[in-house]
Amino acid sequence: MEPMTDISCLYSWAAPSSSVWINSAAQVDRRSPEKGYRGPLRAQAGSPGIQAGPTQRAPGIMGSHMDRAYFVGHHWLYFSVYLVAFMVGLPLNLLALVVFVGKLRRRPVAVDVLLLNLTLSDLLLLLFLPFRMVEAASGLRWPLPFILCPLSGFLFFTTIYLTSLFLAAVSVERFLSVAYPLWYRTRPRLGQAVMVSVGCWLLSGAHCSVIYVAEFSGNSSESQGSNGTCYLEFRDDQLAVVLPVRLTMAVLLFGVPLLITSYCYGRLVWLLGRGASRRRRTRVLGLLIATLLNFIVCFGPYNVSHIVGFVQGVSPTWRGYVLLLSTLNSCVDPLVYYFSSSRFQADFQNLLRRLLGGRSPLAVDSSLELKGKGGGGQREA
């Protein structure tokens, strides 16, 4: 006789777009797939009389039941990470905004245009981050007007990929300034920098507009808003749109910029290793570390989830956790600004001195270095 196993709940196959959970003490043969049992299924969080357990996604139902049950109970982790990113990233990026505006007024250069756009991107992410905090504090349910759900999601993901694009563009500018210094100084390239910035905004926004497509496509009665979540639950027809676009974003908006950045900074380190000053090499090394930290730690795991999700045909349950790392890029980007040039370091430290009413030793050292160069601070590496 085949071994029999008691289970606490069975899935009753109904319409592909819905799921019905039934308490039962029935016995089901684990070895008989034709009987409909494919392992223990997880109930939707909050369903009366049902305890959530290990999960496998059944075909024809929304992946939402799996995702919601997996994340509920961890919403305070989300809230804590969002709060840290907001409290640390907002003041640093506001200071960077003031510095870049001042630099562009005095002597506009292409790299500062790119870094200014990166700063604006981070500030846009941080300004909409309180919406995510409210969602996390509500148990990852969306208590705000639903019109804000796709808007906040669109801006959230757009700014994440804007960072990788602008970091790649900055790496190209840094490489050109060192590899071809005479040519670079005689060509401000402001027009090209503006065009590249507009292209980055359009490219990232066009891909992330899939949020609106997924949100309002198919049966409106089963949209994300009807179940109280925001971009956490997907039907099969939505996954058919979302997963390929996510794969494209992982390759085009993350993989390609990573390759460009790695090549440019690799060549930059090799060129500077042949005779640049120690301070300059240290600054470029700091810029390299901050940039790679963004790509590998903040964005790498999140984009790996896109590849895994496309291969498996589901939205990975751990995707939300690695997305938190992407949120922290707004705290890492100020390091990129700081190591971008000696002039930014001096301006940033002088701004802090005025705000705090004191003068740090770092500001003194930086000012002495600039005086010793006799205006050589315009030569940025």
Task: Please report which confidence band the pLDDT of residue 261 belongs to, taking 50, 70 and 90 as the band edges.
Answer: very high
pLDDT at 211: 84
Position of tokens 């090499």? 281
Q: Label residue 13 left, alpha or beta by phi (over 0 means left) and psi (-120 to 50 means alpha).
A: beta
Q: Chain-centre distance of CA 166, in angstroms?
A: 13
Q: Which residue has the higher pLDDT, 25 or 342?
A: 342
Q: How many Å apart are CA 139 and CA 84, to the nearest integer?
A: 18
Per-residue confidence band for 115, with pLDDT thresholds at 50, 70 and 90: very high
C-beta contacts of 351-354 below 8 A and 24+ residues apart: 351/95, 351/98, 351/99, 352/95
pLDDT at 230 over 50: yes
Residue 314 CB-half CA count within 13 A: 18
Q: How many CB atoms lie within 10 A of CB 147?
A: 9
Is 266 a residue whose pLDDT tops 60?
yes
Instruction: Report the mean per-residue pLDDT for the chain.
Output: 76
What is the average pLDDT across 146-165? Answer: 91
What pLDDT is stored for residue 46 in this prediction?
A: 37
Comparison of pLDDT for 32 and 177, the residue scoring more: 177
CB 260 within 8 A of CB 172: yes
Positive or negative, the CA dihedral 225, 228, 231, 236 is negative
Set out the domains of the chain in order of their start, with CATH numbers.
1-61 (no CATH), 73-340 (1.20.1070.10)
Half-sphere exposure of 349 (CA within 13 A, CB side): 17
What pTM does this model have?
Answer: 0.74
User: How many Cβ atoms from other residues are within 10 Å of residue 275's Cβ?
Assistant: 8
In contact, 260 and 254? CB cutoff 8 Å: no
The amino acid present at 184, given as its one-letter code, is: Y
- For residue 84 the two structure tokens come to 């840290």
Q: What percent of the chain has pLDDT over 90?
A: 39
Cβ(42)–Cβ(52) under 8 Å? yes
What is the per-residue pLDDT across 203-219, written as a single tens digit (0 to 9) for each? 999 989 888 877 776 55
User: Residue 253: which of 183, 341, 178, 164 has the closest Cα?
Assistant: 164
Band of residue 252 on the pLDDT scale cut at 50, 70, 90 = very high
Where residue 76 falls among pLDDT bands split at 50, 70, 90?
confident
What is the DSSP code string of 253-285?
Answer: IIIHHHHHHHHHHHHHHHHHTTT--HHHHHHHH
Mean pLDDT of the region 109-120? 94
| The one-letter amino acid at 351 | L
Distance CA 42, CA 62 (A): 12
**3-state SS, one letter per residue, for 217-246:** CCCHHHCHHHHCCCCCCCCHHHHHHHHHHH
Output the pLDDT for position 177: 86
The yes-or-no verdict on residue 47 having pLDDT over 70 is: no
pLDDT digits (tens, 9 = 90+) for 301-313: 999 999 999 999 8
- 211: buried, middle or exposed (CB in 10 Å: 19+, 13-18, 0-12)? buried
What is the 3-class SS of 304-324, one letter each residue?
HHHHHHHHHCCCCCCHHHHHH
Give the model's pLDDT for residue 11. Answer: 36
Confidence (pLDDT) at 60: 37
Residue 95 has pLDDT above 80, yes or no: yes
pLDDT exceeds cutoff 50 at 131:
yes
pLDDT digits (tens, 9 = 90+) for 10-28: 333 333 333 333 333 333 3
User: From CA 242, how far away is CA 247, in angstroms rounded?
Assistant: 9
Closest by alpha carbon to 351, among 336, 340, 335, 362?
Answer: 362
